[in-house]
Structure 1
Amino acid sequence: MTHIYKIVSQSEWRAAEAAGVFSGAAVDLADGFIHFSAADQVEETAAKYFAGQTDLLLVAVDFTKLGEALRWEVSRGGAPFPHLYASLPLESVARVDLLPLGADGRHDFSALLE
């Protein structure tokens, strides 16, 4: 596994593309780091923080390109989560995909995770 994941609104991501860098969503800016999830964490993150939202993208990032600014820190449920203490350089992004909402109201990750 070399990817970590960020769920963002389409408007947040389009602004990052225009700026050439992603500095974080409002929660990231408030906390002082960009929140990411590993592949086995991102579905729970979506359910907990993005339930029912339809305008979302899933950004897959190659964490090996982030250097020492990326730290794995204990968070939800005592599990280590990836936190980036810097802006996200867009050249570290491997993929950006629409995050569809399934008929059951949950986001569908079936074709998106490595």
Structure 2
Amino acid sequence: MIYHICNKNDWENALQKGFYKPENYEKDGFIHFSKPEQVCDTANRFYKNNKDLVLLEVEDQEDPLVRFENPPENPGDLFPHYYGILRIEKVLRVLPFPQQEDGTFTLNSNINSGKSYSK
């Protein structure tokens, strides 16, 4: 599984449209995802002090639109990139991703527990 961090409102808008395309898609040409062990570092680096975030869980096995690539700013670590607009039916779960009191993020048991928002 791979995970994309997004604002809950952006996901709700995607549900209306039938697909998800983040603001930086045109510039980057793909949607940034993280492996489970990368989620917190990514969130703490790029989303600190952002509220109302969710994790979009997507299956990466045998998906030709997913490529694991080495970003220039983080050499040596492969990150999943999704080369396409994400259809909402590709999202398996939408998980709450609340901040800690200090503004940082940690993974709680949501990923393993099956707890999710409705799609």
TM-score w.r.t. the length of structure 2 is 0.84
For the residue of structure 2 that corresponds to 1:52, the secondary structure is: coil
Q: Report the CA distance between 1:95 and its aligned residue.
A: 0.9
Structure with greater proportional helix content:
1
> Which stretches of structure 1, 4 residues or more, deviate above 3 A after TM superposition?
none
| Identity within the alignment, % | 33
2:68 counterpart (72, 78, 81): 72
Letter in 1 for 2:6: V
Q: Does 2:96 correspond to 1:98?
A: yes
What does the per-residue CA deviation read over 1:14-47, in whole Å, with 9 as the maximum and x for residues that have no partner?
Answer: 1111111112x12233101000000011100000
TM-score w.r.t. the length of structure 1 is 0.87
> What is the CA RMSD across the aligned residues, in angstroms?
1.5
Unmatched 5+ stretches in structure 2: 113-119
Structure with greater proportional strand content:
1
Unmatched 5+ stretches in structure 1: none
For the residue of structure 1 that corresponds to 2:61, the secondary structure is: helix
1:18 counterpart (16, 33, 37): 16
Q: How many residue pairs are counted as aligned between the two chains?
A: 110
